[in-house]
Structure 1
Amino acid sequence: MTHFRLPLLAAGALLLGGCASLSADGGMNDVSRLTAERIGQPAALARDGANNDQQVQLLLAQPLTADSAVRIALMNSPALKASFAELGASEADLVQAGRLRNPSLSFGRIRGGGETEIDRGIMFDIAGLLTLPARSRIEAGRFEQAKLQAAAQAVQLAGDTRRAWFTAVAAAQSAAFAEQVQAAAEASSELAAQMAKAGNWSKLDQARERAFHQEAVTQLARARHEALASREQLVRLLGLSSEQQSFTLPDRLPDLPPQPQEMNNAEAQALAQRLDVLAARRDTEATADALGLTRATGFINVFDAGYANKSTSGKPRENGYQVSLELPLFDWGGAKVARAQAQYMQAVHRTADTALRARSDVRVAYSAYRTTYDIARHYRDEVVPLRKQISDEVLLRYNGMLASVFELLTDAREQLASVNTAIDTQRDFWIAETQLQGAINGGGNNDTRNAR
C-alpha cells in the first residue's frame, strides 16, 4: 500500500484546497466599516433595490442637505457600484489562489503482436500544493488592498458630492442676488430714460445706466447657467434619474463655524488613516510575499506526481507512481527573481512617494482651509457690515434730499455685489474644509491646490 500514499495525500490536499469559497458579503462589510470610520456614513451595496429606491425618495422629499446628498450618492451612484464590482473580482482571485490545479488524467491503449497494453495515470500538482499557503497569503493581501481602494472610491465620492452640493447651493444663491442686481439696474435705466426725456439727465449718464443694465442682464444669464450646471453636476454624482431631479436645495449656505479647527497632528493622522497610504503599504507587503514565492519557485516551479496503472494482455496488472519534474537547463529563474526584486523596490518607492504626497496634501489643504476661513469671516464681520453702514448713510442723505435716487440705486448695487462676493468666500471655505478632510482621510485624489 505504500505506493498509494503519494496519490492519496495529493487527493486529500486537493479536496482541502477546493474548500475555499466566496464570502457572503464579498468584502463589503469591511469596506462599509472603513468608509464609516472616515466620513461617518457607511457604503454598501443595497441587497434590496426597491428598499434602496424608497430610501432615496424619502431623502429627496426633504430639502437636500450635504449629509443626505452624501448618503444618496453612497447608495445610488452607478460609478461607485462599478468600483465595488472590482472587489468581487479580487475576492474571486483570492478563492482561486486557495484551490489546487485540477488533476490530469492520462489513458493509453496499444495493440500489436496479439497483445493489448493499457496505461492509466492521474497526476497532481505537487508544486502548487507546496506553494498554496504562500499564494493564498499573497492574494489575501491583494484582497485587503482592493477593499481599501473600494473604500477610497466611496470616500472620494463623498467628498465630490459635498463639494458639488456647496457649489450648487452657492450658485443658486448667487443667481438670486443676480436677479436683484438686474432688477435694480433695470429700474435705474428706466428712470434715467424718463429723466433724459424731461431734460434733467445727460446722454452720458443715461448711457452709463443703460450699459450697467446690459451688463447686469449678461451676469444674470451666466449666474443662471452656473446654477443649472452646478445642479446637474450634483445630479450626476447622486445617480438620479430624470424623475428624481425635482429635489429642493436650501436657500443659503451653512454659517461659518465659530472657530477654525487647528492642525495639531493632522499629518500623522493622514499617514495612519489615508486609504491610499494604507493601500500602498498593502501592495508593498503583497509584493514582498510574491518576491519570496518567486525565489522559492525560481529554480523549479513544475513538479507533478501521481498514480500509474498498467495492464497487458495475459499479464498481471502493474501499479506504481510517476513523477514529472521540470529540468532547469535553459532557465534557472534568475530573470524572474530579478523582475520580482525590481517590482518590490518599485512598490517600496511608490509607498514612500505616497506618504510624502499625503503630508504635503495636508499642509496645502490646511493652508487653504485657514485662508478661506479668514477671508469669509472678514467679509462677514467687516466688509458686509461696512457696506450696510454706507447704505444706511446714503439712505439718510436721500431722505434728507442730500443724495439723488441714482446714488441710492448705485449704492444698492454695490451692496449686493459685496454680498455676492461674501457668498463666494463662504462657499470656498466649505469646499476647502471638505478638501482638508479628504486630505486626511481620503484616497489621495483630492486636488488641494485650489479651494474650489
Structure 2
Amino acid sequence: MPGRPAARLAPALAVAMAVVLSGCASFSGDQGFSAVAQATQERIGQQGKLLRSDEDHKALAGLLQEQLKQPLTADGAVQIALLNNRGLQATYWSLGIAEADLVQAGRLQNPAFGYKHTQGGGDTSIERTLGFNLVSLITAPLASRIEGRRFEQAKLAVAEQALKVAAETRRAYYEAVAAAQAHEYALQVRDAAEAGAELGQRMQKAGNWSKLDAAREQAFHGDALAEALRSGKQVNASREKLTRLLGLSGAESAFKLPPHLPELPSAVQEVADVEQAAMRNRLDIQAAKLETGHTASTLGLTRSTRFINVLELAAVRESATGQPRERGYEITLEIPLFDWGSARVARAEAVYMQAVNKLAETAANAQSEARESYHDYRASYELAKHYRDNVIPLRRQVSQETLLRYNGMLASTFELLADSREQAAAVSAYINALKEFWVAQTNLEAAMGGKGANK
C-alpha cells in the first residue's frame, strides 16, 4: 500500500534524529574561557577575565583604583592588561563565536513543510510535504567533531594572544621605566653641563681658559641639552605605549612608575634545552597541530560527500476531490553529471598540505626564536653585569681620584669636566644595558611559552 513505506520510514527518521540530537553540544557557562585562564596561569602565573556584566566592570574599576595608588610593578601592569586591554577583551569574545558555531553544527537543519492547493474543473487537489535534509543528518556528528576541534583551536589562539599581550606589556613597562630613569639622569647631566659651560665662559673672560676649552664645554652643554630633550620624547612615547596596552584613559593614565629599573638577579637562569621547552609549551605550535588535524578531518568530509551535494527526504501526503488520500515519500538526489566533486577534493588536499607546511614552519621558527632569545638573554646579562661590576666602579674610582687631584691642584678644571662627561656616558650605557636585560628575559619567556616553560 502507498502508506506503508512512509509509515515504516517515520520511526527510522525519529530514531536517527533522536540519536543525533542526544549528542548535540550545549553552551558552556563560560564560553570555554576557563581553559584560557588555566593556560595563562600555568605559563605566566596570571589570568584574565571575560567582562560580562556591570559587576565585572565595577570589580575591575576597584582593582584599577587599588593598583594605581602605588607605583606600578611589572606583574601589576600585566594583570591590568589581561583584564583591561580592550583589544584582548575583543579576542576573548571570539570564544563565544566559536562555541556558537560548535553548538550550531550539532543541530539539525529545520524541516521544510510544503503545502500545495490547486483547483480546476470543480476538483480540488491538496498536497502536503514534510522534508528533511539527509546530508545534514548524516554528516552532523562529523561536523560537530570538526567544530569541536575548531573550538579547541580557538581556545589556544585566545590564550596565545593573551600571552602576547602580557609579554608586550612587560616589555613596554621596562622601556617606560628605563626611559624615565634615563631622562632623570639626562636632566642632571644637563644641569651640570650648563654649570660647566658657564664656568668656562667666566674662565675664558678671565684669561684662564682658551677659546677651544670654552667651546668644548659649550658643545657638551648643547649635546646634554639635546639628550635631555630626546629622552623627554622617549619618556612620553614609551609611557603612552604602556598606557594603551593597559587600556587606561583619563585620570587613570597618570599612573606612577618606580624611579629605576630592578637590579640584576644574582645569577642567570639556566635552561637545559630551550628548543624542547618551546616545542612542548608554545601555544602557537599546539594551535598549528590542531589546524592540521582539523584540515584533515575536513578533507575526509569532502571525500565522503563529493558525489552527494543535495539529498533530501520528504514525506508526501496528497488528497484530491473524490479521490482517496495518498501517502508516500520523495527523495531528491543531485546527479553528478557535470560536477563529480574532484575540484573540491583537490582543493581540500591543497589546503591540508598548506597546513602541514605551516606547522613545520611554525615549529622551525619557534626553535630558532628560542635559541636566539636564550643567547640574547645570557649576553644581555653579562653586558649589564660588566657595567655594574666593572665599568661603573672604575668610572667612580676615576672620578674620585680626579677630584682629589683637582683639590690638590694637580688636575685642571678641564680634566674634571671631561671626567664628568665620560662618567655620564657610562651611566647612561648601564641604564640601557639593564633595560635590555629585562626585555631579553621577557623575550626568552615568551619564546619558550611562558615563565614555567623550563620547569
**TM more than 0.5:** yes
Report SS of the residue matched to 1:432: helix
Question: Per-residue CA shift, 1:116-159, capped at 9, x if unaligned?
Answer: 11100010111111111110000111111111111111000000
1:4: which partner in 2?
Answer: 7
Check whether the contact 2:5–2:328 (CA below 8 A) recurs between aligned residues.
Answer: no
How far the C-alpha of 1:400 sits from its partner, in A, is: 1.4
Structure 2 residue aligned with 1:423, among 427, 431, 436?
431
Q: Equivalents in 2 of 1:306, 1:273: separation in Å? A: 51
Match of 1:194 in 2: 202
CA distance in 2, matches of 1:301, 1:336: 11
Question: 1:175 — aligned with what?
Answer: 183
Could you tell me how far apart the structure 2 residues matched to 1:304 and 1:8 are? 17
Match of 1:446 in 2: none
Partners of 1:6 and 1:405 in 2: how far apart? 107
- For residues 381 and 2 of structure 1, the distance between their equivalents in structure 2, rounded to whole angstroms, comes to 92
Contact 1:10 1:126 in 2 (8 A): no
Instruction: Tell me how far 1:4 sits from its aligned partner.
Output: 2.9
Query: Which of 303, 324, 330 is the equivalent residue of 2:332?
Result: 324
Query: Which residue of 1 is the match for residue 119 of structure 2?
Result: 111
One-letter identity of the residue aligned with 2:290:
R
Instruction: Choose 429-438 or 8-17, whichever is displaced more.
Output: 8-17
The 8 Å contact of residues 179 and 235 in structure 2, kept in 1 or not, is answered as yes
Match of 1:37 in 2: 42
Distance 1:377 1:5 in 2: 84
Name stretches of at least 5 consecutive residues in structure 2 with no aligned partner: 451-455
Q: Give the Cα–Cα distance (whole angstroms) in 1 for the partners of residues 14 and 312 of structure 2.
A: 13
Moved more, 404-413 or 112-121: 404-413
Change beyond 3 A, Cα 1:123–1:7: farther
| 1:17-416 mapped onto 2 (5 Å cutoff) | 17=21, 20-47=25-52, 48-416=56-424
- Secondary structure of 2:266 counterpart: coil
The one-letter amino acid of 1:37's match is: E
Deviation at 1:92, TM superposition (A): 1.6
Deviation digits for residues 397-447 of structure 1, max 9, x if unmatched?
Answer: 1221212333223212321221111010010011011111111116xxxxx
Q: Does the CA contact (< 8 Å) of 1:7 and 1:124 recur in 2?
A: no
Tell me if structure 2 keeps the 8 A contact 1:398–1:404. Answer: yes
- The aligned amino acid for 1:366 is Y
Deviation at 1:174, TM superposition (A): 0.3
Q: Is the partner of 2:327 in helix, strand or coil?
A: strand
Q: Tell whether the 8 Å contact from 1:182 to 1:213 is kept in structure 2 after alignment.
A: yes
Q: CA deviation at 1:9?
A: 4.1
Letter in 2 for 1:198: A
1:13 CA displacement? 4.8
Whichever residue aligns with residue 45 of structure 2, its letter is G
Q: What CA RMSD, in Å, does the superposition of the two structures yield over aligned residues?
A: 1.6
Task: Pick closer, same or farther for the CA change 1:263–1:125 going to 2, 3 Å.
Answer: same
Judge conservation of contact 1:7–1:305 (CA < 8 Å) in 2: no
| Alpha-carbon contact 1:161-1:234 (below 8 Å) kept | yes
User: What one-letter code is carried by the residue in structure 2 that aligns with 1:84?
Assistant: Y
Distance (Å, rounded) in 2 between the aligned partners of 1:5 and 1:52: 60
Residue identity (%)? 52
1:301 Cα offset (Å): 3.1
Q: Is the 8 A contact 1:104 1:122 kept in 2?
A: yes
- Code of the aligned partner of 1:253: L
Partner letter of residue 251 of structure 1?
P
Asked if the contact 1:29–1:44 (Cα under 8 Å) also holds between the matched residues in 2, the reply is: no
SS of the counterpart of 1:121? strand
2:108 alignment partner AA? L
Conserved 8 A contact 2:200-2:214:
yes
Contact kept, 8 Å, 1:195 with 1:201, in 2: the verdict is: yes
How far the C-alpha of 1:333 sits from its partner, in A, is: 1.2
Kindly provide the amino acid, as one letter, of the partner of residue 338 in structure 1.
Answer: A
Give 1:170's aligned amino acid.
A
Q: Which shows bigger deviation, 418-427 or 252-261?
A: 252-261
Structure 2: distance between partners of 1:10 and 1:252: 73
2:21 partner letter: G
Cα displacement string for residues 289-334 of structure 1 (whole angstroms, at most 9, x for unaligned residues) = 1111111101113221122111111222222222111211111111
Cα offsets for 1:352-378 (capped at 9, x unmatched): 111111111111111111111111111
* AA at the equivalent of 1:4: A
TM-score normalised over the length of structure 1 = 0.94
Task: Write the distance in 1 (CA, Å) between the matches of 2:424 and 2:311.
Answer: 81
Which is further off, 190-199 or 216-225? 190-199
The code of the aligned residue for 1:10 comes to: L
- State the AA in 1 paired with 2:380: T
Classify the secondary structure of the residue corresponding to 2:258: coil
- Please tell me the residue identity of whatever aligns with 1:314: G
Q: Specify the SS of the correspondent of 1:245.
A: helix
Q: Quick one: distance in 2 between partners of 1:341 and 1:9?
A: 35
Look up the SS of the partner of 2:254 in the other structure. Answer: coil
Residue by residue over 1:166-215, the C-alpha shift from the partner in whole angstroms, topping out at 9 and shown as x without a partner, is 00000000001101111111111111111122222222211111111111
Aligned residue pair count: 442
Aligned residue for 2:115, secondary structure, equals: strand
2:213–2:414 Cα contact (<8 Å) kept? no
1:62-82 CA-partner distances (Å, limit 9, x unpaired) = 110000000000000011012
**Inter-partner Cα distance in structure 2 for 1:10 and 1:71:** 53
Query: Is the CA contact 1:149–1:276 (under 8 Å) kept in the aligned structure 2?
Result: yes
Distance 1:99 1:235 in 2: 44
Give 2:343's aligned amino acid.
A
